[in-house]
Chains A and B, each alone.
Chain A
Amino acid sequence: SHDYHFGLEDHEGISELFDCD
């Protein structure tokens, strides 16, 4: 119900953001 603009690609997630991939 919100219009947040998701920007992460499908191959990106919290693991990549914290260099844990």
Chain B
Amino acid sequence: PPQTPVRAAMNSIAQLRVDLTASGDQPSANLAVYFKNCTVDPTKEVLQRVESLSQLFFQRFGQAVGPRCVGLGKQRFTLGIRLYYRVMESMLKSEEKRLSVQNFSKLLNDSTFHTSLLACALEVVMATYGGSSTTGVYSNGVSPETDLSFPWILDVFQLAAFDFYKVIESFIKAEPNLTKDIVKHLERCEYQIMESIAWRGDSPLFELLRQTHEDGPVEQAEPTAT
């Protein structure tokens, strides 16, 4: 029978949970190998960052939804962490194949990369749970009035939208199990960033544009047709 919005949301939540059951809360053996292959092993920083970002997330989730729902926040964060490690491994495998490189020291020691990747994983989890709030239906334990939808996660992690934007396409490429609705949601996040958020005063986009401008035009403008 055709699915009601609630049934569809419940199914995608169940699918996400089943899907991530096999993924661990810690870096996998393959990830540990990538970390060891780095000039500077990022393992300790990765685990410390996860710990500190988890505290931030729990606190803000509790503030937004209510202190009695901190357990819900922990559930969501756990799913987010599993997806974060899984997508990271998948990304590194494809980069290894594309670049014939095993040492990803610079990337894996880049805090912005990790924070953006975790934020994107959490946004997928929140969108999967929060789907009902867009339909205004109370089915995931969170009242529709609490808006945890994008760009809430950027504010929690104090992450620049432009940095979040950088991981979206690679995230979708690396995680074939994403549902059509979630891919569409991430695409909407891209539009939202490019149309407005990335142009806010404190965005790193301006610095990038300034650098590009100083470097001068890379390509000559095409001559006008006579």
Contacts and interface: CB of A to CB of B under 8 A. Distances in A.
B91 A14 contact: yes
A8 B104 contact: no
Which secondary structure characterizes the binding site on chain B?
Answer: helix
A4 B172 contact: yes
Nearest to B94: A13
Which secondary structure characterizes the binding site on chain A?
Answer: loop
Given A13-B98, A13-B99, A14-B167, A2 B107 contact: no
Q: Which of A4, A7, A14, A21 has the most CB of B within 10 A?
A: A14
Interface size class of B (residues with CB under 8 A): 20 to 34
A2 B183 contact: yes
B24 to A, nearest CB: 22
Contact of B95 (A2, A4, A5, A13): A13
B166 A15 contact: no
Given A13-B94, A18-B110, A2 B178 contact: yes
B107 A1 contact: no
Interface of B: 91, 94-95, 98-99, 104, 106-107, 110, 112-113, 166-167, 169-170, 172-173, 178, 180, 183-184, 186-187
